[in-house]
Amino acid sequence: MDSMDILSSALLALLVVGYLVLAGSDVGLGMLMPHVARGPDQRRRVVSAIAPYFLASEVWLVSTVGVLAGLFPALEHHAVAALWPVLVALLVGWLVRDAGLWLRARVDGDRWHLACDGAIVAGSWTLAAAWGLVVAGLLTDGLTMSPFTPLCTIAVTSLFALRGAAFGAERLVGPADSESADVAARDTRTLARIALGAVALTAASAPLPGGPAPDDGTALAAAVALTAVLLAVLVATSGLAGPMLSRHTSALAIAVPGLVVALAARLPAEPIPSTVAVFVWAFLVPVVPVMFVGQVWLYRMTRRPAVTPTFFA
């Protein structure tokens, strides 16, 4: 593998991890809406917290798909062929969740708001579960009838919920009513414990038939090391200081599945033609730095508490 291939692979991995960290916030908070928001005003606050944050995370997803299609067509074809039912469910969940966010404020009615809130919750859960199935499918070279697949799906879904709770603990703080933020903060410890159990069971099921089979010892060592890091992070988050640590630990935790796939999954790899690499990178070189700077700025801006009404709620 030449330097261009390595650089392209690193960019793809970075985009995937960036998407998981960012989208984990809004998807996870959408999953937890019925629990952290008990009334119309609190639900509006949750939607205001999610938006426009979700637009930033989707930039990373679109960028990931573009790099995948432009530089890794063999990997794209493999993922689509092996996981197309899951990808269809993921797309449906994405559209339903986004429709609820975009349309909620277009009609001023309690029933309309409840319907849109239901779409946000259902779409968020579908997205998280679908990404869990994608991770499991990529690690096992296609979905298999083994304990690893459902356990991995539960583990990734719980990591999304943990990331959403940590996000809500900051974003839902308000001058008058911080009940939702307090509930989200308390949930970080419970969700970390659930994720800890799910990850431990997933790791224990990996050696069973139908589980992941890394190509070599290096890939296996990377998977074991990353799993150990994830378990340690979840142990720290489930302790007394968990709510204070969760902003950073939840980001690290949700990044690990993407890193495991990048370093340990048996994915098809073909040399990138030099002409294609030059053409794609000629476009990426000026765009990627601007995107990164813009995303960092937007990330810092949207971490602030969402108090006033927005276009979305």
Q: Diameter of the chain by CA atoms?
A: 59
Q: What is the predicted pLDDT for the residue at 158?
A: 98
Going by C-alpha positions, the residue among 181, 200, 206, 204 that lies closest to residue 238 is 200
Report, as ranges of residue numbers, the positions in the chain whose pLDDT lies below 70.
1-2, 175-177, 298-313
pLDDT at position 307: 59
pLDDT value for 309: 61
Whole-structure pTM over 0.85, yes or no?
Answer: yes
Q: pLDDT by residue (tens digit) across 238-265?
A: 988 888 999 999 999 999 999 999 998 8
Report pLDDT for 288: 78
Spell out the domain ranges in the chain. 9-302
The per-residue pLDDT for 77 is 87
Give percent above pLDDT 70 in the chain: 93
Identify whether the C-beta of residue 148 lies closer than 8 Å to the C-beta of residue 202.
yes
- Span 3-16, pLDDT tens digits: 777 888 888 898 99
Looking at residue 177, what is its pLDDT? 60
The domain 9-302 having CATH identifier 1.20.1630.10: the answer here is: yes
